[in-house]
Chain A
Amino acid sequence: MPDDHQHDTGVRGPAARVKALEELLAEKGLVDSAQLDQITETYQHAVGPRAGARVVAKSWCDGEFRRRLIADAVAACAELGIAGPEGGHLVAVENTPRVHNLVVCTLCSCYPWPVLGLPPAWYKSFAYRSRAVSDPRGVMREFGLVISDAVEVRVWDSSAEQRYIVIPERPRGTESMTEAELAEIVTRDSMIGVAKIAGLAKRIAS
């Protein structure tokens, strides 16, 4: 592995190439370094799965919102001020007692950035991209999630413009929690489909 943190001239590896590209393109007036700072700042700190968690929590608390979300996730997320690149054709798919949803992109690593941020390392891994379609139950078991044989597993391969977010089931024992509290317990992995959200009792016990 090249050392990515070196910045001296003459460094090899991708770090040096990125630096070279940025310099050359800036000299030609094709990129603006301040704008690049802004983009990295946005994706490192502003965009992430907390946005998706807010959407899920609201869908649990507000039946009308849930209906709008399933019908048109782009419009429903816009109500919460959530939008951006890779979110223009967002689709929300809900888990039910009969269907469990799992999202993958076998051809590259398409992912719904505005609601989940940039994808975690495992989502981009060759192991996930290859087996999520042919062995979804095996893949989920590797995450500790066992789906009953009575439940249909529905895998969504994001091959076109649509980007998918899973609306996980609301765990039992959370009836008294507020929307803001619920948003705290919604995990990124549950919105991809490789996890469920632990119930309140289990939470207190652990």
Chain B
Amino acid sequence: MNGIHDMGAMDGFGRVEHGEPGESAAFHSEWEARAFALINSVLVRSGANVDEFRHAIERIPPARYLASGYYERWLHATETLLVEKGILSRPEIDARAGSEIAAIPAAHVAPAKPRAKNPRARFRAGRRVRARNINPAGHTRLPRYVRGKIGVIRHDWGIYIFPDTNAHHAGEARQHVYNVAFAARELFGPAAHPRDQIVIDLWEDYLEPAGSKPAARTAAKKTKKKPPIATRRKGSSQVRSHAR
């Protein structure tokens, strides 16, 4: 989902405040330490997976996300999952805590449909690829700032569970994850430093071949050349927009 958590390349948060006393402490209060331990201990036992947990954090409404600290967001997400899984009820927690917290909106029910049909690597190191311009309604680890941009595969990390489906318990859809380098100028335009690169790890479903031609021409040609894939993508995006 295009949530507030996807912060890469946003402006407006000001300078990075650092060097404050206590910034290196693992926790800034007792409850943070307790929350960290509790969450690490109960999540797996509750039947949740890490992708689902991340998505529960992403589902926190933006204003509340921004107003909450890191471990408060963990806590909101954990309460949400425990309630959704029927392990605890919200009135039960509210009564015991002596406070009430608004529920986090439910997860979208139409997760991504995996494209990768088998775990054979589609790309090799050195290959130019484009991060697909997709906007999944559910969980994704494809940040907005790379979508539609062209990069180069540096390395194939091997096969990993696909978060976009796993977060919704819609299968593991195991596929290759690639280390992809994007020129800062490709992402942020001519004002970016000519030497700089941003390197990011992307699942195969997030990528498509970019060929060696200029971006716009390659995209136009590809659509003409491979109608079956385009049709399939169109189909799945309709499912998603319907779910929205």
Q: List, in ascending order, chain A residues with CB within 8 A of B88's CB.
A: 21, 24-25
Q: A13-B99, A23-B96, A142-B15 are in contact. Are A154 and B199 (CB under 8 A)?
A: yes
Q: Is the CB of B16 within 8 A of A160?
A: no
What class of interface size applies to chain A in its complex with B? Answer: 35 or more
Contacts A155-B197, A157-B143; is A127 near B17 (CB within 8 Å)? yes
Given contacts A25-B42, A137-B193, A152-B195, A159 and B201 within 8 Å (CB-CB):
yes
Q: Are B20 and A130 in touch, CB under 8 angstroms? A: no
Q: Could you tell me the distance in whole angstroms from the C-beta of B191 to the nearest C-beta in chain A?
A: 10
Known: A36-B38, A130-B9. A159 touches B200 (CB 8 A): yes
Is B16 within 8 A of A122, CB to CB?
yes
The answer on a CB contact under 8 Å between B201 and A162 is: yes
Of the candidate stretches B23-31, B103-111, B211-219, B222-230, the one touching chain A is B23-31
A68 at the interface (CB under 8 A from B): no
Pick the contact of B160: A10, A143, A160, A194 (CB < 8 A): A160
Residues from chain B with a CB closer than 8 A to the CB of A25 are: 38, 42, 82, 87-88
Given A31-B42, A160-B202, A43-B33 contact (CB < 8 Å): yes
Q: How far is the CA of A23 from the CA of B38 in the complex (A)?
A: 11
Listed by A's residue number, 30 A-B pairs whose Cβ atoms lie within 8 Å are A4-B28, A12-B97, A15-B31, A17-B99, A18-B75, A23-B96, A40-B27, A40-B36, A44-B33, A120-B23, A121-B17, A121-B18, A121-B28, A122-B23, A125-B16, A126-B7, A126-B10, A127-B16, A130-B11, A133-B198, A134-B192, A137-B193, A139-B16, A143-B16, A150-B195, A152-B196, A153-B184, A154-B181, A156-B200, A160-B202
Known: A32-B41, A131-B11, A142-B18. 18 other contacts (CB 8 A): A4-B32, A10-B98, A17-B75, A31-B41, A40-B33, A43-B26, A126-B13, A133-B187, A134-B187, A153-B195, A154-B197, A157-B201, A159-B201, A159-B202, A160-B160, A160-B177, A160-B202, A162-B201
What are the nearest 5 A-B pairs in CB distance? A106-B8, A160-B201, A20-B96, A39-B37, A20-B97
Contact A36 B29, beta carbon cutoff 8 Å: no
Point out the residue from A24, A35, A108, A188 that lies within 8 Å of B57, measured CB to CB: A108
Give bound CA distance, A158 to B199, whole Å. Answer: 9
**Chain A minimum-CB-distance residue to B78:** A21
Interface of B is mostly: mixed
Query: B220 interface residue, CB < 8 Å from A?
Result: no
